[in-house]
Amino acid sequence: MTEQKNTQLAGMAFMGMIFFLFGFVTTFNITLADKFKAVFELSNFQAQLVNGAFFFTYFVLSFTAGGIIKKIGYKGGVILGLLLVAAGSFLFFPAAKALSFPFFLFAIFIMAGGVVFLQVAANPYVTALGPSETASGRLNLTQALNSIATYLAPIIAGVFVFKTAADAALSASEAARSVPGPFLVIGIIVLIIAFAVYMLRLPLISTQGVEKKSVWKYPHVTLGAVGIFCYVGAEVGTAAFLQRYFQTALNMAQSDAARMIALYWGGSMVGRFYGSFMLSNVRSARKYLYTVIVIALAFFVGWFVRSEITDGLIFAGIALLNYLAIQLGRGKAARSLAVFGIIAAALLVVVMSTSGSFTLWLGLAIGFFNSIMFPNIFTLGVEGLDKGELSMASGLINTLIVGGAVVPVLMGVMADTIGVRAAFILPIICYLYIVFYALVGSKKR
């Protein structure tokens, strides 16, 4: 029993590292949309093709990746994903030399292909590493580690990629040269991790089960896939256009807006740490202790971006409200998902219909309520499936991560035609669908 527990802990530690990695890569690429907009003088629609190239890969590869992983195993799928991430990272160098936006999109596509394999392998692996009733808690924990990376990525991009006021004085080729540097570091680190994974002895999770059994007959799986489409589309689109909104409505510099978006992702991190113990079988006394620790973490996260005590206090206050909101879920994945979907939609309505500096914090607070959505939708979507069906269900669900390509691009079209604020209508609709899935669509039939 002890040996089994140790192997499960090893597996969770390994998964935490993988979730951190693809979280960093994903958010770093999302942040680059504004950089490419400035370098290549793109419209809002064209700039969102950066997100489009990244998330369209899920539509192209996810279901295929599920089939491949079923044959080569979760470990093999992770190694293949890491190698593709490294290859895409190194392609940024010839893209910058050629000063070609399509070449950059191709590099992003290859890198995203690796992230697809990591996603499709990692999520079912985590759900299978313990009891099904605590799967949501485990996924929230690994997603919290993912969110640490998504919090750090915009800060690093703001320092090493965006040039603040100096951007205007740089030529396009000079500005483009600031992009590949961080990707060289990413590529090297990813290759080292791939070698380590190859050498590690990890717990085996069977990819075999009931053969030729279609997951299409499960409505909660297909509706959950649509839920993932809406969640990723809303999360990515909101982040991208909040960054744009802060620049125009609040007169923030491009680099400052990119750094503040780190708090949007930091809110997701804090909320997922809540979810990791609130949606698990942790004892009540420990839950209170962990809550205090997470609120202290929120204060540090809020303070760190601009080194202002006021920011830390505001962010910790939002974290406390997030904790109170998760209490309404009563430890149930579906109920918690519905509560958070309603709050996220309401916050966006207020942001798009009001003005003033306080909209900065209302917009950033949405990240807190995105937090548990992916792990809860995924857990509800694969609930009750045979282990042999997990990889194919994960492939189907992850295919609909293409929402991160479709929704931001459509928001770009709306922003170009009727304004940035009006574009927030699309993520509001997405959040309302998530509420429907939580209350109705997730019921097993």
What DSSP assignment string belongs to 222-281? HHHHHHHHHHHHHHHHHHHHHHHHHHHHS---HHHHHHHHHHHHHHHHHHHHHHHHHTS-
Length of the chain: 445
The pLDDT tens digits of the residues spanning 392-419 come to 777 788 788 889 889 988 998 998 898 8
Averaged pLDDT of the chain: 82
* pLDDT recorded at residue 312: 93
The CA distances from residue 389 to 67, 141, 353, 386, in Å, are 10, 23, 44, 5
The pLDDT tens digits of the residues spanning 253-264 come to 777 787 888 899
The CA distances from residue 16 to 11, 126, 168, 260, 261, in Å, are 9, 9, 40, 25, 23
CB atoms within 10 A of CB 417: 11
147: Cβ contacts below 8 Å, ≥ 6 apart: 23, 265, 266, 268, 269, 270, 272, 371
Selected residue with higher pLDDT from 415 and 179: 415
Confidence band of 338 (pLDDT split at 50, 70, 90): very high
CA distance 79 to 81: 5
The answer to whether 412 and 322 have CB atoms below 8 angstroms apart is no
**Superfamily of the domain at 2-441:** MFS general substrate transporter like domains (1.20.1250.20)
Domain map (residue ranges) of the chain: 2-441
Confidence band of 387 (pLDDT split at 50, 70, 90): low
Confidence band of 331 (pLDDT split at 50, 70, 90): confident
255: Cβ contacts below 8 Å, ≥ 6 apart: 158, 162, 163, 164
- Would you say residue 129 has pLDDT above 80? no
Rounded to 10°, the helix 333-353/309-327 angle is: 130
The pLDDT tens digits of the residues spanning 48-58 come to 888 788 888 88
pTM: 0.77
